[in-house]
Homo-oligomer: A and B are copies of this chain.
Amino acid sequence: MNILEKITQNQAAFSKSEKKVAEVILANPQTAIHSSIATLAKMSDVSEPTVNRFCRRLDTKGFPDFKLHLAQSLANGTPYVNRHVDENDSPDEYTNKIFESTMASLEVARQSVNVNVVNRVVDLLTQAQKISFFGLGASASVAHDALNKFFRFNVPVVYFEDILMQRMSCMNCSAGDVVVLISHTGRTKSLVEIAQIARMNDATVVGITSAESPLAQECSYVLSLEVPEDTDMYMPMASRIAQLTLIDVLATGFTLRRGNKFRENLKRVKDTLRGSRYEKRGD
């Protein structure tokens, strides 16, 4: 944990002299890491052992160790924190906040991914007779994106926005078909029903959804992503991004499993797009 934050938080628990030290350090941490314990003591107007005791209170071995921690905190430069957008934010502020909290969410999501399930699902997908991607609302565009990716793989892949089409498609499923259902909450009724229908028709159902949700319970495999969602905004933001990244992971796993020849095929698909594009100068 960041030692600067730690100082700020524990500030109340410090003694009078320790508070002085904390103040001086927080006011100018850059100076602090380049000072000896004597200089810092003088700056804080306390004795050297007080500074030493201050360091130990923060669970460091002593002053040099404390400086090391401090140096690391400063280097980190507040990595990516989930800072919420505020009403009075300037465009510059909300732009940075959104990018940063998206990155922070991806970090959290990354840690929550169960790699074993990813591997198993990639297995399934490579062997599937037909792959379907369904999602509703904000997750529809994620399914749409998945279609785009897997379509390039030259495998039978299906995507519908329409609930009835989704249902009908699942009715026609058979063993060997994989249905991937995407929903952040996992509580959308119609999607849960679709999971049931697909399973009744022997399809394997993969859920990209919240763990232990009603949808998750109907799935054969669940890829759950723990994403802290900014509920102030009333719309999904980070969860979609995490879902998309997971789709990227699955797609990548798919191509890796299929091997070299398959990737050459991908390149061919991409080359066919060339006719629809303006050439880049110098190509």
Contact = CB atoms under 8 A, between A and B. Distances in A.
Interface of A: 33-34, 64-65, 67-69, 71-76, 79-80, 85, 87, 89, 91-92, 94-96, 98-100, 102-103, 106-107, 109-110, 113, 115-116, 118-119, 122, 137-138, 140-142, 144-145, 148-149, 152, 185, 187-190, 192, 214, 233-235, 237, 240-241, 244-245, 248-249, 251-253, 255-256, 260, 263, 266-267, 269-270, 273, 276-280
A153 to B, nearest CB: 9
A109 B100 CA distance: 11
B152 A145 contact: no
Contacts of A85: 252, 256
Nearest to A76: B75
Given A187-B277, A188-B276, 19 more contacts: A64-B64, A72-B72, A72-B75, A75-B76, A79-B80, A89-B256, A91-B118, A94-B249, A94-B253, A95-B113, A95-B118, A99-B107, A102-B248, A103-B107, A137-B273, A140-B144, A141-B142, A185-B277, A241-B241
15 contacts: A34-B68, A79-B79, A85-B256, A89-B256, A91-B253, A94-B249, A95-B110, A95-B113, A98-B248, A99-B113, A106-B106, A145-B240, A149-B235, A190-B276, A214-B278
Contacts of A279: 187
B91 A119 contact: yes
A243 B72 CA distance: 33
Contacts of A235: 149, 152, 251, 266, 270
Nearest to A153: B235
A279 B185 CA distance: 10
Nearest to A113: B95
Residue from A107, A113, A248, A255 whose CB has the most chain B CB atoms within 10 Å: A248
Residue from A118, A185, A245 whose CB has the most chain B CB atoms within 10 Å: A245
A148 B141 contact: yes
A91 B122 contact: yes
Given A141-B142, A141-B144, A99 B109 contact: yes
Residue from A95, A119, A279 whose CB has the most chain B CB atoms within 10 Å: A95
Closest 9 CB pairs of A and B: A72-B75, A141-B145, A99-B110, A75-B75, A141-B144, A91-B119, A187-B277, A234-B266, A187-B278
Given A119-B91, A252-B233, A106 B109 contact: no
Contacts of A138: 145, 148-149
Contacts of A245: 98-99, 102, 241
